[in-house]
Amino acid sequence: MKFNLCFLFVLFLTASAGPSLTAQTLEQQIDKKISDTYPADGPGVAVLVAKGDKILYRKGYGKANLELDLPMKSDYVFRIGSITKQFTAAAILKLVEEGKLALCDPLTKFLPDYPTHGHTITVKNLLNHTSGIKSYTGMMKWTDEVRRRDFTVDSLINFFKNEPIDFAPGEQYRYNNSAYILLGFIIEKVSGMTYGDYVEQQFFKPLGMKNSYYGYTDKIIPNRINGYQRDGDNYKNADFLSMTQPYAAGSLLSTVDDLHTWYRALAAGKVISAESLKKALAPTKLNSGKTIDYGFGLSTGNVQGSPSYGHNGGINGFLSSSVYLPKEEIFVVTLTNCDCSPLGDLDAELAALALGKPYEWTAVPVDASKLPEYQAVYESKDGGARTIKFEDGKLFSQISGSQRYELMPVGKDKFHVLNSLTDLQFKRDASGNITSVTSFSRGTPIEWQRTDKEIKMREEIDLPESVLSQYPGEYALFPNFSLVIKVENGKLTAEPTGQPKVVLHAESETKFYVQEVDAQIEFFKNDEGKVDKLMLYQGGQQIVGKRQ
């Protein structure tokens, strides 16, 4: 759950299998990877790596409390954000097993007056984010002032229920916090218990999860720690969020040990049946036939070819990630008390180390004169586009609306996407012409067909500071998420909330582009001739940012 919404400029983290690691080497490898990211004097992280019931690695890094100079410990209690969703999904499936509801039940069975705009929205649509209901955490009226209010479940649903739907049920997959609020309501109505009581009585107590809680703000919870966020080059206490609002989408608290207990119990059939877990892990199939690697509260994929499932989360002041490899019984969880640096693929990298197959790539020599033949626009059957571009003697890959990455040659017609876990394998026809490229990462491989479409080239122009000086300010794109525009060294820069600053390159007096990301920004003036908003163009979306 991202209550502090990530901007689309976000940079992503990241093989050949390496040798098996000894316990000492494993600890050293993880120590280095974690300590490089989490300094001893900043907010920290708790990490646990296990194989079966055996703990391979369990440590805390950095600070649990900056004001008290308190070091992080692995048994501290964190907000886990959207990892909550798998508890909510498990509760629904448990109630299905008990015959108290069905996945095909319409939402209106539980909320008869819910406006569905002539469509049937099922419990299954809510679980797999295909309902089309507007996610309240992306609504502009979900302001900082609103986030401080306590809501009842009914008033929280009323906050978003009358919004227009984003698409017909099953037409698209769009991550949706409102859907899990509605699932929490259904759990309460069917079970006769509050959501917090249900997860405590049905999950936490029976499984011995003694340090997991519903995140009541007013209760004393032993070992609960504070969350932080970036404030320029410094840190500050995370913005306040009433924990009545994340509710069944993100209000749970836990520890690395309790989450290990939870995943082990889930895999062992102690939470829901094996058949129900199979349903939870089944890919979502859209009306078009396209499949998504997300089931019910769990994402599926692989780590170095080994099947995996898990979830991550983000909520004011906290980020979390978790992954489980059922065949090898390897589990990794990372919990951090600052939402300032995305965890990215850290969980997969640590799982790969425990698997004895660390992610490693070795560059191979390549004739630079051959690289331009890979340059083209490639499209997937689902309509996405990946541009491979030759520039300054190197190849770069960029998916529409995303970050640009350099490619490193690692084999015949094979390249690794730097700073990611993705590899690209190009295919040729009988005549030796490149026809497609397949991307391999943590999810299902995707094939991209080569097209004859022209690669868009952008030309930068120089603008005087008298023009650039019109634009600096803060522009709000989403609740709790802004772009700060500045003039620095004769260029405009944009700094998304909690993310690195990027340079804006001018292609006209009002239009700018980001070189590292497929994104453009256009500024607009009001009737008085003053710049009062911008438009972000990225990933096929047009997002308005109002000047504050």
- Which domains, ranges and CATH numbers included, belong to the chain? 23-300+344-355 (3.40.710.10), 368-450 (2.40.128.50), 465-547 (2.40.128.50)
List all residues 6 or more positions away from 111 whose beta carbon is below 8 Å from its beta carbon: 157, 182, 185
Which of 68-77, 148-157, 270-279, 505-514 has the least mean pLDDT?
505-514
Q: Is the pLDDT of residue 20 over 50?
A: no
Q: What is the pLDDT of residues 317-332, one digit of tens each?
A: 999 999 999 999 999 9
The stretch 158-164 carries a mean pLDDT of: 96
Q: Given this model, what pLDDT does residue 23 score?
A: 66
Q: Is the pLDDT of residue 179 over 70?
A: yes
Cα angle: 402, vertex 334, 199; to 5 degrees: 105
Q: Is the pLDDT of residue 16 over 60?
A: no
Q: Is the pLDDT of residue 7 over 60?
A: no
Which residue type is seen at 16?
A: S
In order of 148, 156, 339, the CA distances from 144 in angstroms are 7, 15, 17
Crossing angle of helices 23-35 and 346-355, in 10° steps, is 170
Q: Which helix (H) or strand (E) holds 328?
A: none
List all residues 6 or more positions away from 135 whose beta carbon is below 8 Å from its beta carbon: 160, 174, 175, 176, 177, 178, 179
Distance CA(73)–CA(88), nearest Å, equals 28
Which of 11-25, 148-162, 361-375 has the least mean pLDDT?
11-25
* pLDDT band at 548; cut points 50, 70, 90: confident
Distance CA(72)–CA(34), nearest Å, equals 13
User: Higher pLDDT residue, 399 or 278?
Assistant: 278
* pLDDT band at 176; cut points 50, 70, 90: very high
Query: Using the 8-state DSSP alphabet, how is residue 422 labeled?
Result: -
Distance CA(416)–CA(401), nearest Å, equals 20
SS3 for 159? helix
The stretch 208-223 carries a mean pLDDT of: 94
The stretch 483-508 carries a mean pLDDT of: 88
Q: Is the pLDDT of residue 187 over 90?
A: yes
CA 267 to chain centre: 23
SS3 for 338? strand
* pLDDT band at 445; cut points 50, 70, 90: very high
Mean pLDDT, the chain, rounded, equals 91
By C-alpha distance, which of 246, 287, 277, 3 is closest to 122? 287
CA 216 to chain centre: 25
CB 235 within 8 A of CB 228: yes
Number of C-beta neighbours around residue 545 at 10 A: 22
Q: Given this model, what pLDDT does residue 458 score?
A: 77
CB 110 within 8 A of CB 189: yes
* pLDDT band at 22; cut points 50, 70, 90: low
* pLDDT band at 116; cut points 50, 70, 90: very high
Burial 413-434 (b: 16+ CB within 10 A, else e): ebbbbeebbbbbbbeeeeeeeb
Burial 518-534 (b: 16+ CB within 10 A, else e): bbbbebeeeeeeebeeb
Round the CA-based radius of gyration of the chain to a whole number and report it. 24
In order of 24, 52, 323, 357, the CA distances from 27 in angstroms are 5, 17, 18, 15
SS3 for 365? coil
Q: Given this model, what pLDDT does residue 326 score?
A: 97
- What are the strands, taking DSSP E only, across 403-540? 404-411, 414-417, 423-428, 434-440, 446-450, 473-478, 481-488, 491-496, 502-506, 511-514, 519-525, 531-538
SS3 for 430? coil
Strand order in the sheet with 299-303: 54-61, 45-51, 330-336, 318-325, 306-315, 299-303
Q: Residue written as tokens 């600052």?
A: 338
Distance CA(158)–CA(470), nearest Å, equals 40
Token output for 19: 């040798």
Which of 190-204, 440-454, 515-529 has the least mean pLDDT?
515-529
* pLDDT band at 17; cut points 50, 70, 90: very low
By C-alpha distance, which of 69, 68, 83, 18 is closest to 324? 83
Q: Is the pLDDT of residue 109 over 50?
A: yes
Q: Given this model, what pLDDT does residue 6 score?
A: 35
The stretch 288-311 carries a mean pLDDT of: 95
Distance CA(389)–CA(521), nearest Å, equals 22
Q: Is the pLDDT of residue 480 over 80?
A: no
User: Higher pLDDT residue, 277 or 381?
Assistant: 277
Distance CA(519)–CA(485), nearest Å, equals 15
Burial of 27 (0-12, 13-18, 19+ CB in 10 A): middle
The stretch 239-257 carries a mean pLDDT of: 96
Burial 77-101 (b: 16+ CB within 10 A, else e): bbbbbbbbbbbbbbbbbbbbeeeeb
Q: Is the pLDDT of residue 8 over 60?
A: no
Token output for 408: 């490193």
The stretch 231-238 carries a mean pLDDT of: 87
Token output for 423: 């590899």
Distance CA(55)–CA(330), nearest Å, equals 10
What pTM, to 2 d.p., does this model score?
0.85
H helix runs in 423-485, sequence order: 465-468
Q: What is the pLDDT of residues 361-405, one digit of tens each?
A: 999 999 999 999 999 999 998 878 999 999 889 999 998 878 889
Q: Is the pLDDT of residue 14 over 60?
A: no
Distance CA(68)–CA(71), nearest Å, equals 9
Q: Given this model, what pLDDT does residue 4 score?
A: 38
